[in-house]
Homo-oligomer: A and B are copies of this chain.
Amino acid sequence: MVNFKGLNACDSFASLKKTSRIQLHNLLTPGRIEDLWIAHAAGFSYCYAFAPVDDLIVERLQALADEQQLIEKYRMLAEGAVMNTGEGRMVLHHLARGRLGAPVVWKGQDMDAFYRDEKRRFYEFAEKVRDGRVRSSAGRPFAQVVQIGIGGSDLGPRAASIALSRWAITRKRARLTPWFISNVDPDDADWVLSRIDLSETLFVLVSKSGTTQETLANETLVRERLKAVGLDPDRHIVAVTSNSSPLAGNPHYLDSFFIDDFIGGRYSTSSAVGGVIVSIAYGPETFEEFLQGAHEADILALEPSLKRNPVLMDAMIGVYERNVLGWPATAVLPYAEPLSRFPAHLQQLDMESNGKSVSRAGLPLSYSTGPVVFGEPGTNGQHSFYQLLHQGTDIVPLQFIGFLANQFSPDINSEDSSSRQKLVSNLVAQMVAFALGKEDENPNRLFSGGRPSTLLVGEELGPKQLGALFSHFENKVMFQGFVWNINSFDQEGVQLGKVLAKKALGAIGRGESSGDIRLDALIAAVYENAKHHPRADS
């Protein structure tokens, strides 16, 4: 029987809190660095030698994972339990990459088959676009594909598209160039449209409900721009939406591919939300490999032992850092330029999932939940915010990601070493520097050390590895949500802003009262204060 209870109700958490903390300086022997590795999916390995845990702490984290029944809950979720309690929904993003247990049947429909059928449909469509059977209204083959979506319909697919852009070029799989429009700020769409030739551009409109304000506003903008140059918008846009949305089966789109309420936006890169654009840009086989890597990592995450389950270990170390050591933020540092937007995806994934203050049963919590997540690629970050990470007054635990090979090749040598070797040398140097610090007579040059990190390292970043990375962090967030006994799959915190924005829009656009005196006062003050100044271009 699975039992849901808060972190503070766990005996194992009480003993974890009493366990002596470690001194990384003393603990970090060569033997530890050699030993504390866990084999991961898709060729990755996970190192936790630089994490603030010793054998006893790991044992108690294991006890906490066991007491909170993390693997059992993961299995329940994978087999279709209603784990998104607030919204009364199943959580099926794992199923989009492969089955992990018993079939999931909903209203008589095999959900596995649903995801597979949609995938087959968009793979076929992608092949037609790629080989020129589907062409623009000007009769030209499509050369650009622009996703219009926001949040999960943007960040994950964008991060994935950037991550694979170089890889796809070197593998001769890059056929169409992917672009993204997300912000309701029209300077977003107009900028993208200024860079491309509309007569060779296909748009992928992504909105589950078919009512997302930003996405519909951008669709209107795009349709006007297409019409203005004599193109037929209906022949330039495909929709990704739920089968009950106004966009579904609508003749104003080339085609529509379906998603459902069981895959939340931030988990949807594995569905048609990420699959359509990746398949069109880089080929269905590329997206299929992405799904395989994610599925491989999903299977590995079923392992109950922390020492053999890298994502479970990673999740529990994060809980220890958050709830015992009390650290409020985490940095993710990919030493890989292709992962330049992966931190932005993780920021949504983690903060939107676990930035909650009530339990899954709706009771207030007495402990901290999800941290602030931020990051930029290394080595760039080293020349930016690492100063604070090394010598600031707070400790920020770090998650490094690295690879031993380039996507583009060959590399070049300068001063007797390749750029790749320089990149890897920086990564390992930083881990050691953060952990051990350095004594110095000059207090400005003293590094206290004791700043922990973990590492995910692989040979090379391809679609399979990228899928495993997406899975890793999704499952990490899921496990942490189980530990905290929260619902990681809703996002009620975004609703109030939407409601007030609608009221504000009436007040701004039509001069009405918003119905809220503070909102009215702010709108009046904003326009008064910004407008009495001369225009920027005068």
Contact of A368 among B357, B393, B530, B535 (CB under 8 A): B393
Question: Which A499-538 residues sit within 8 Å CB-CB of chain B?
Answer: 499-505, 507-510, 516-527, 529-531, 533-537
Query: Is residue A107 within 8 Å, beta carbon to beta carbon, of the partner chain?
Result: no
Structural contact, B443 and A362, CB atoms closer than 8 A: yes
Q: Are A186 and B493 in contact (CB under 8 A)?
A: no
Residue on B with the closest CB to A413?
A: B220
Of A351, A460, A497, A510, most buried by chain B (CB within 10 Å of CB) is A497
A15 interface hit (Cβ, 8 Å): no
Q: Does A226 contact B (CB under 8 A)?
A: no
Cβ contacts A404-418/B at 8 Å (1 or 0 each): 111110011111111
- What sequence of 0s and 1s flags, for each residue 154-195 of chain A, a beta carbon within 8 Å of any chain B beta carbon? 110000000001100101000000000011111110110010
Cβ-defined partner of A150 (8 Å) among B380, B429, B430, B433: B380
Question: B496 near A390 (CB under 8 angstroms)?
Answer: yes
| A436 in contact with B380 given A329-B328, A368-B393, A419-B185 (CB within 8 Å) | no
Shortest beta-carbon distance from A488 to chain B in Å: 10
A303 sits at the interface (CB 8 A): no
Q: Contact string, A313-346, partner B, CB cutoff 8 A, digits 1/0?
A: 0000000000000001100000111100000100
Task: Given A190-B166, A491-B387, answer yes or no on A182-B380 (Cβ-Cβ < 8 Å).
Answer: yes
- Across the interface, A384 reaches (CB within 8 A) one of B151, B186, B365, B428, namely B151
Q: How many residues of A contact B (CB 8 A)?
A: 181
Is A231 in contact with chain B by the CB < 8 A criterion? no
Interface residue A109 (Cβ < 8 Å from any Cβ of B): no
Distance between A171 CB and nearest chain B CB, rounded to angstroms: 7
The reply on A47 being an interface residue by CB < 8 A is: yes
A114 contacts the other chain (CB 8 A): no
The answer to whether A62 has its CB under 8 Å from any CB of chain B is no
Q: Interface code A97-132, partner B: CB below 8 Å = 1, 0 otherwise?
A: 000000000000000000000000000000000000
Interface check A253, CB cutoff 8 A: no
A452 adjacent to chain B (CB < 8 Å): no
A184 touches B423 (CB 8 A): yes
- Against B, the Cβ 8 Å flags (1 = close, 0 = not) of A453-476 are 001011111101100000000000
Contact in complex: B432, A518 (CB < 8 Å): yes
- Contact between B414 and A525 (Cβ–Cβ < 8 Å)? no
Q: Within the complex, what minimum Cβ distance (angstroms) separates A377 from chain B? A: 6
Looking across the interface, which residue of chain B has its beta carbon closest to that of A384? B348
CA distance A352 to B383 in the complex (A): 8
The answer to whether A86 has its CB under 8 Å from any CB of chain B is yes
20 further A-B pairs in the complex, CB-CB below 8 A; given A372-B372, A429-B500? A29-B518, A33-B521, A33-B525, A151-B384, A185-B336, A186-B411, A217-B412, A220-B414, A347-B376, A347-B384, A352-B385, A352-B387, A357-B393, A357-B448, A373-B385, A391-B493, A425-B501, A447-B493, A447-B496, A457-B530
Task: Give every chain B residue within 8 A of A34 (Cβ-Cβ).
Answer: 521, 524-525
